[in-house]
Amino acid sequence: MSTTPDTLIQVRGLVNQFGTQRVHDGLDLDVRRGEILGVVGGSGTGKSVLMRSIVGLRPPDGGSVKVFGQQLDALDDRARRAIERRFGVLFQDGALFSSLTVGENVEVPLREYHPELDARQRDLIADLKVGLAGLPESAGDKFPSQLSGGMRKRAALARSLALDPDILFLDEPTAGLDPIGAAAFDRLIRTLRDALGLTVFLITHDLDTLYSICDRVAVLAERKVLVCAPLPEVEAFDHPWIRDYFHGPRGRAAQAATASQAVPDRQGTDR
């Protein structure tokens, strides 16, 4: 696998193991600047473990992970923190602090990485990020328990944007949302990518998300990345899991929905 100057994340020969269970064995993956990369795979293929290895939450048992050309586990604390502040992470279910308001949740990374900011400055930044995530200004004073599921996802997204990251890591961001809410969240991610120049690492099982916003898709199977390519190439890859996933009834429905949305756009009738 060749590396280009636009490669922000480079994973080579990654091994992750829990006891006698080897989740990844020689996994290779590149993530390119400015792309939305969808990561899919069956249950137990280690999608979230891969993300945690990349952001430095789990040291790999073998291989290497480089981000911005640096190997995190080889850096001192100061250099590592400088790279970590360029990440934004949305974990499964949001992982918001229930005892803090949305605004206070957004301020958590600001307090950690920007202690020089005063309370007013933190409030202003939190309000901006809440708005960027598509939430009303009033949401900043609410607790997570007072929000709908979709609003909690957006609140978690606002927190992940707090440090103006270069790379956004999203773990199942549309899980549990209704189709309308999921589609709106997908559009928001694409808009933020385009407006802010983000690179997005997106774990999902949502076929609609893959077809509507992902530039490439990486398929995890057999303890490695089986294929990482634009969707037409992934669909053509000969493997039982890919056939079942992309060519089953739900896959065909997602393809048809994407095609029907693309026709008006090409004709210019949706502008």
Q: Which residue has the higher pLDDT, 60 or 258?
A: 60
| Cα dihedral 151/156/161/165 (nearest 10) | -140
> What was the pLDDT predicted at 253?
65
The answer on pLDDT for 269 being more than 50 is no
Mean pLDDT computed over every residue of the chain? 91
The answer on pLDDT for 61 being more than 80 is yes
Report residue 173's pLDDT band, with 50, 70 and 90 as the boundaries: very high
28-50: average pLDDT: 97
214-237: average pLDDT: 97
* Domain 1-68+172-231 falls under CATH 3.40.50.11060: no
> What was the pLDDT predicted at 2?
55
The C-alpha angle 69, 221, 86, rounded to 5 degrees, equals: 25
Which pTM does this prediction carry? 0.91
The answer on pLDDT for 267 being more than 90 is no
> What was the pLDDT predicted at 115?
94
Report residue 256's pLDDT band, with 50, 70 and 90 as the boundaries: low
> What was the pLDDT predicted at 94?
79
> What was the pLDDT predicted at 247?
87
56-71: average pLDDT: 95
> What was the pLDDT predicted at 254?
66
Extents of the domains making up the chain: 1-68+172-231, 98-165
Per residue, the 3-state secondary structure of the chain, as one string, reads CCCCCCEEEEEEEEEEEECCEEEEEEEEEEEECCCEEEEEECCCCCHHHHHHHHHCCCCCCEEEEEECCEEHHHCCHHHHHHHHCCEEEECCCCCCCCCCCHHHHHHHHHHHHCCCCCHHHHHHHHHHHHHHCCCCHHHHHCCHHHCCHHHHHHHHHHHHCCCCCCEEEEECCCCCCCHHHHHHHHHHHHHHHHHHCCEEEEECCCHHHHHHHCCEEEEEECCEEEEEECHHHHHHCCCHHHHHHHCCHHHHHHHHHHHHHHHHHHHCCCC
36-52: average pLDDT: 96
* 232-244 per-position pLDDT tens digit: 999 999 999 999 9
80-108: average pLDDT: 93
* 179-208 per-position pLDDT tens digit: 999 999 999 999 999 999 999 999 999 999
* 109-159 per-position pLDDT tens digit: 999 999 999 999 999 999 999 999 999 999 999 999 999 999 999 999 999
Give yes or no for a contact between 149 and 177, defined as CB atoms under 8 angstroms apart: yes
Phi-psi region of 218 (alpha: psi -120 to 50; beta: other; left: phi over 0): beta
Residues 6 or more apart whose Cβ sits within 8 Å of residue 239: 219, 221, 226, 227
The answer on pLDDT for 104 being more than 60 is yes
The answer on pLDDT for 264 being more than 50 is no
> What was the pLDDT predicted at 92?
82
C-alpha closest to that of 29 among 9, 46, 49, 47: 9
C-alpha closest to that of 208 among 240, 238, 184: 184
